[in-house]
Amino acid sequence: MNLTELNRIATAMVASGKGILAADESSGTIKKRFDAIGVESTEANRRDYREMLFRSKEAMSQYISGVILFDETIWQDAKDGTPLIRLIEESGAIPGIKVDEGTQALPMCPGELVTVGLDKLAERLKKYYERGARFAKWRAVIDIGSGIPSMTAISVNAHALARYAALCQAAQIVPIVEPEVLMDGDHDIDRCLEVTQRVLNKTFQELRVQRVALEGMVLKPNMAVAGKKSAKQASVEEVAEKTVRMLKACVPAAVPGIAFLSGGQSDEEATAHLNAMHKLGPLPWGLTFSYGRALQAAPQKAWSGKAENVAAGQRAFSHRARMNGLAAKGEWTNSLEKKAA
Ligand code: 13P
């Protein structure tokens, strides 16, 4: 393992003013997104949609440091025969790959999930590296509800995350370690903070036990936010202050960067929260976005599966990428949103 090189990639993934495009929706998830815009989820449509994103010159060259791909996409070619992964490399962004194989019910723990995909992972990583992937992603899912999460769910998911991360580093691939605490419930921000803190602490404990080099990874956490169904929503300032406090308490400064998931926040909330955190700086690690929905909802709507809308889709994507790029430096303002709209 070449840790200097892993650290160089991890640092580039969280370069100032840039963040990660999570375009790694599984077949089931992209179908849901396409259903919402009335587009059939065929292989060709998925290719056309992602080709549109990766050919968005302004976004890709200025605001996107890396792209997380789904297995299908990393082997797909653009319409003119260029591998999609080459489009990403040519834009200057780093290609990455989602390597977990989704979740399964966790035995003895009703309502809880464990992420699977460790079997044969070493072999798969080797193929992905040869294809050009320089980082990977594994997402663990922790739900908050009555009596959950259990310590069992937190432990097994942290263990799997660390197993995955160690295998990645051995394959010269930077692991994005993503323990996502869902924002689906009716809990308040303090409950989210308390659970996320437990999850992060257990995750870093496992990473150490399994000898993962913190200098060669990126953390992808949720922010501390109230559940979507909570009557008590927190202000932008409260989310920023509590999230930064939580991360400072849990994430060693050896970690080069933290890149948030959006998790169901609205586009502008996700941007405003990241921006507000940078107002609290200086921070011990790079802090940026690794958004799926909060970067793609607008371009998906603008595109709606029509070739004549590709330019509009690219404009919508570039706009969100630019807003988040500014937020990643604390330079975003609400009026920039209004001006563009
Ligand atoms: P969202 O930003 O839509 O939560 O997706 C990010 C991601 O990669 C979740 O695994």
Fold classified for 3-340: TIM Barrel (3.20.20)
Q: C-alpha dihedral over 95, 163, 101, 31, to 10 degrees?
A: -50
Q: Tell me, in angstroms, the distance from the centre of ligand 1 to residue 21's CA.
A: 9
Q: Break the chain into its structural domains and give their ranges.
A: 3-340
Q: Please report the pLDDT score of residue 341 as a whole number.
A: 58
CA distance 162 to 336: 40
Using alpha carbons, list the distances in angstroms from residue 268 to 225, 227, 297, 337.
Answer: 14, 17, 11, 8
Q: What is the pLDDT of residue 281?
A: 84
What phi, psi does 214 have (nearest 5°)? Answer: -60, -25
| 320 Cβ closer than 6 Å to some ligand 1 atom | no
Instruction: Supply the pTM of this predicted model.
Output: 0.98
339 is annotated as an active-site residue: no
CB of residue 278 inside a 6 A radius of ligand 1? no
Annotation says 178 is catalytic: yes
Per-residue pLDDT of the chain (341 residues; tens, 9 = 90+): 999 999 999 999 999 999 999 999 999 999 999 999 999 999 999 999 999 999 999 999 999 999 999 999 999 999 999 999 999 999 999 999 999 999 999 999 999 999 999 999 999 999 999 999 999 999 999 999 999 999 999 999 999 999 999 999 999 999 999 999 999 999 999 999 999 999 999 999 999 999 999 999 999 999 999 999 999 999 999 999 999 999 999 999 999 999 999 999 999 999 999 999 999 989 999 999 999 999 999 999 999 999 999 999 999 999 999 999 999 999 999 999 987 75
Q: Which of 222, 290, 324 to mutate to test the pocket of ligand 1 (most atoms within 8 A of CB)?
A: 290
pLDDT at residue 23, rounded to an integer? 98
| Cα–ligand 1 centroid distance for 295 (angstroms) | 10
Question: CA–CA separation, 290 vs 49, rounded Å?
Answer: 19
Residue among 273, 283, 285 nearest 327 (CA): 273
CA atoms of 282 and 69, how far apart (whole Å):
31
Ligand 1 in reach of 319 Cβ (< 6 A): no
- Select which of 178, 180, 202, 206 is catalytic: 178
Catalytic-role residue among 18, 98, 220, 242: 220
Q: Is 317 in the pocket of ligand 1 (CB under 6 A)?
A: no
